[in-house]
Structure 1
Amino acid sequence: MNDAEGSVFVEDPSGNTWMMDGKGNISVNAPNEITLNAGTNINMTAGQNIVSSAGVNMIETVGVDKSSTIGMMNNTFVGGSSMLNVVGDLMEFITGNLQSSTEKDRVVSSKQGITQSTEGEVAKHSQKEVKLNSTKKSKLY
């Protein structure tokens, strides 16, 4: 304890530390693991930012529903491949435009059918040949 600073520092033989600096800041450190358990809820609130970082992997497990509300921009950067597995339906509702681009091939497939509809014009552009393949007669009207 430092009465002049109003701080409290606690350390155990393994290197675990708890520091209250007397200025409104708390620092907790452990050489190995920190575990938080609650019988019902854990609530975290910050007046400004919450930052989390993992040196290797980060895993989230949610038993039922997960909701995210983002006031402005949602940015996701993936340094390798990305996969989304949905057991039920996937719905997107976008009030603005949807733009998608790929530097290589794009494959869209379905076992039952693909439907596209618009109230406006449908335009498909290619610098090369456009191929429509079907095992049956095709209708263009």
Structure 2
Amino acid sequence: MNIFKKILLFLMSANYASTFIQNGWAKFDADGFWSSAFIERWGYGLYFMYFIGVLEFLGGIGILIPKANKYAAFTLATVMLGAMITRIVFGTSMTDVIWIAFTMVTLLYISLVYGMDSEFKRLSDRVGKKG
């Protein structure tokens, strides 16, 4: 990987780390914006909001750790898939959906560049041997 790509990936990861650490932490405020969104608007429970907060907070930290970054980015992409589906089902602006989709695709790209594709290959090989 060339130096430009490494720097770009680091900057993208640092940006997402900052975003997800802040947003994950905000989900621990039982009286804040996110609790009204999760409970009143979308019908999810408070504990689900806390679970998503933990995933986002730890994912934000993990995306900066070399051995964990591919897993963290993939986990965050999965969380964004859920966020995108929630926003589509419960109706929100298309701008929100597009930004969430962009974030999800970017996180998937980061996870693949950091080596998640080899994890999928390894899993596929293991499943193929059992079948």
Give TM-score, length-normalised by structure 1.
0.22
Structure having the larger proportion of residues in strand: 1
Higher relative contact order (CA 8 A, sep 6+): 2
Give TM-score, length-normalised by structure 2.
0.23
